[in-house]
């Protein structure tokens, strides 16, 4: 026991190309407001360096997973995802992270919440954020989640065991519809500031798709190049703000940055083309079907998010969508879509069928690796709990 601090069990897990702090639900306070204060303190509070906590001073490493026994029949565990801001006292629960989702199955198996079955354990994960189900197939060895394997993913050094994640149940997770407006494409008119064709798709997470050409881009710009263009970033947020209203995430367009910075994601797509990544990797036109650059938390993603991968795959199966228009005729017929992102390539399996004039996703799966980095305790100052009690 420490006289000035309380210890809470946690694990640091790399899931895909992100890294998060994973908590067992019962180890956190029951009161939601106090729980969020504890989580923020664990990450380092409002500080862009997150120097006093476990956060990595990056949106890709400031993520939390809360895992516990399932409250939904037919599922093995509950999982709540939070994007922890370091510029405001906020934990955003409006969406999900497919990369962090990749670590939930291994974490649950190692914590004894799910019985390990060799060689692969299927974990049915109840995503509480949107009340959907993610099905994870996790390699297992000697009663623990296996990390050894020859599978690679762009943006992560080395190899690992392949985890398959099927997100097909998450279509319409936020709005109830794959196409919230009922149309594969529509026009956002901002008067003198321009008019833009976009597609709004809700699968995995809600996304706005727009062509790079309509923004005056080639499509293969690096995240730094995009973020360094203030006029472009202002235009992106203007469009994203209107989309946030259309998705029902905020009431006013100007509130999107403060109240819903995580979703909707914003994907800038272009036809397949060769380019050099910021990390030195070369991507050849023949190895991909589409190029995409994606924004979340008001910053450009350095690789590609898992839920964004799911939604991009689904958008490729919607005739007339902005993304569909970027594809070759052959790519429109394939089951696997190969996405070229800032650090390499990520494939996604996506299949759909038409029922009564509507598109329904029948498969939306992608592959990740995950590895537990640390088990231990994070120390939270008593004043955090005292402040929570006063409120």
Q: What CATH number did the domain enclosing 333 receive?
A: 3.10.310.10
Q: pLDDT grade, residue 62 (50/70/90)?
A: very high
Residues of the domain holding 256:
186-367
Q: pLDDT band at 13, cuts 50/70/90?
A: very high
Residue 167 covered by a domain: no
Q: CA-CA distance, 64 to 28, in Å (whole number)?
A: 12
Phi then psi for residue 156, to 5 deg, are -130, 125
Token duo for residue 141: 């060895």
d(C-alpha 98, C-alpha 309), whole Å: 8
Together in a domain, 362 and 384 = no
Q: In the block, which residue shows the tokens 């037919």? A: 74
- C-alpha angle 306-311-316 in degrees, rounded to nearest 5: 125
Query: pLDDT band at residue 108, thresholds of 50, 70 and 90?
Result: very high
Q: Is residue 168 part of a domain?
A: no
Same domain, 214 and 349: yes
Domain-located, residue 149: yes
Task: Give the pLDDT confidence score for residue 388 in this predicted structure.
Answer: 62
Residues 195 and 336 in one domain: yes
3 state SS of 347: strand
Q: Is 228 in the same domain as 79?
A: no
Confidence of residue 150 (pLDDT cuts 50, 70, 90): very high
19 & 129 share domain:
yes
Asked whether residue 263 falls in the same domain as residue 340, the answer is yes
Q: Which residues of 185-218 are buried (b: 16+ CB within 10 A; e: fewer)?
A: bbebeeeeeeebebbbbbbbbbbbbbbbeebebe
More confident position, 354 or 121: 121
Clarify whether residues 298 and 377 are in a common domain. no
**Could you give phi then psi for residue 357, rounded to 5 degrees?**
85, 0
Q: Is 341 helix (H, G, I), strand (E, B) or coil?
A: strand
Residue 1's pLDDT is: 74
What are 134's strand-pairing partners?
125
Q: What is the pLDDT of residues 307-319, one digit of tens each?
A: 999 999 999 999 9
With beta carbons less than 8 A apart as the criterion, state whether 197 and 186 touch: yes
Q: pTM for this one? A: 0.87
Q: How many angstroms separate the CA atoms of 374 and 353, rounded?
A: 43
In this prediction, residue 389 carries a pLDDT of 58
Task: Report phi then psi at 26, rounded to 5.
Answer: -70, -10
Residue 159: CB atoms within 10 A of its CB come to 14
Are 38 and 95 part of one and the same domain? yes
> Within this chain, do residues 153 and 236 fall inside the same structural domain, yes or no?
no
The answer on pLDDT for 197 being more than 70 is: yes
Q: Are 198 and 185 in contact (CB under 8 A)?
A: yes
The verdict on residue 279 lying in a domain is yes
Query: What average pLDDT does range 133-157 have in this prediction?
Result: 96
Rg of the chain, C-alpha, whole Å: 20
Alpha helices in 247-366 (DSSP H): 256-259, 306-315, 329-333
Query: Distance between CA 148 and CA 46 in Å, rounded?
Result: 36
- Asked if 266 contacts 295 with a C-beta cutoff of 8 angstroms, the reply is yes
For residue 391, pLDDT over 70 is answered with no
Is there a domain that residue 170 lies in? no
Residue 372, pLDDT > 90, answer: yes
**Is there a domain that residue 285 lies in?**
yes
Say how many domains are in the chain.
2
Query: Is the distance from CB of 291 to CB of 219 less than 8 angstroms?
Result: yes
* 350 and 204 co-located in one domain: yes
Q: Would you say 86 and 46 are in contact if contact means Cβ atoms under 8 Å apart?
A: yes
């Amino acid at each position: 026991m420490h006289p000035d601090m309380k210890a809470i069990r946690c694990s640091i897990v790399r899931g895909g190309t992100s890294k998060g702090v994973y908590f067992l639900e019962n180890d956190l306070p029951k009161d939601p407001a106090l729980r969020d204060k504890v989580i923020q303190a664990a990450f380092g509070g409002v500080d862009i360096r997150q120097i006093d906590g476990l956060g990595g001073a990056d949106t890709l490493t400031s993520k939390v997973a809360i895992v516990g026994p399932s409250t939904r029949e037919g599922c093995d565990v509950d999982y709540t995802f939070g994007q922890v801001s370091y510029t405001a006292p906020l934990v955003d629960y409006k969406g999900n992270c497919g990369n962090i989702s990749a670590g939930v199955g291994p974490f649950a198996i190692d914590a004894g919440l799910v019985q390990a079955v060799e060689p692969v354990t299927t974990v049915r994960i109840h995503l509480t954020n949107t009340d959907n189900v993610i099905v994870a197939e996790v390699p297992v060895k000697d009663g623990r989640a296996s990390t050894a394997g020859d599978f690679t993913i762009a943006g992560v050094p080395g190899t690992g065991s392949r985890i398959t994640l099927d997100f097909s149940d998450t279509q319409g997770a936020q709005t109830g519809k794959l196409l919230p407006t009922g149309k594969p494409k529509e026009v956002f008119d901002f008067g003198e500031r321009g008019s833009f064709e976009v597609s709004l798709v809700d699968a995995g997470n809600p996304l706005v798709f727009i062509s790079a050409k309509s923004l005056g881009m080639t499509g293969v710009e690096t995240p730094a190049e995009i973020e360094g263009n203030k006029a472009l970033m202002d235009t992106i947020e203007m469009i994203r703000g209107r989309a946030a209203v259309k998705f029902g995430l905020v009431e006013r367009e100007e509130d999107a940055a403060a109240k819903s910075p995580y979703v909707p994601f914003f994907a800038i797509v272009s036809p397949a083309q060769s380019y050099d990544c910021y990390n030195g990797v070369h991507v050849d036109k023949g190895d991909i079907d589409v190029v995409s650059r994606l924004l979340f938390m008001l910053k450009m993603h350095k690789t590609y998010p898992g839920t964004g991968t799911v939604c991009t795959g689904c958008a490729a199966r919607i005739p007339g969508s902005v993304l569909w228009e970027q594809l070759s005729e052959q790519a429109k017929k394939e089951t696997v879509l190969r996405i070229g992102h800032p650090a390499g390539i990520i494939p996604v399996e996506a299949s759909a069928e038409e029922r009564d004039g509507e598109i329904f996703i029948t498969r939306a799966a992608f592959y990740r690796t995950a590895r537990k980095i640390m088990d231990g305790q994070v120390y939270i100052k008593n004043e955090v709990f005292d402040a929570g009690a006063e409120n």
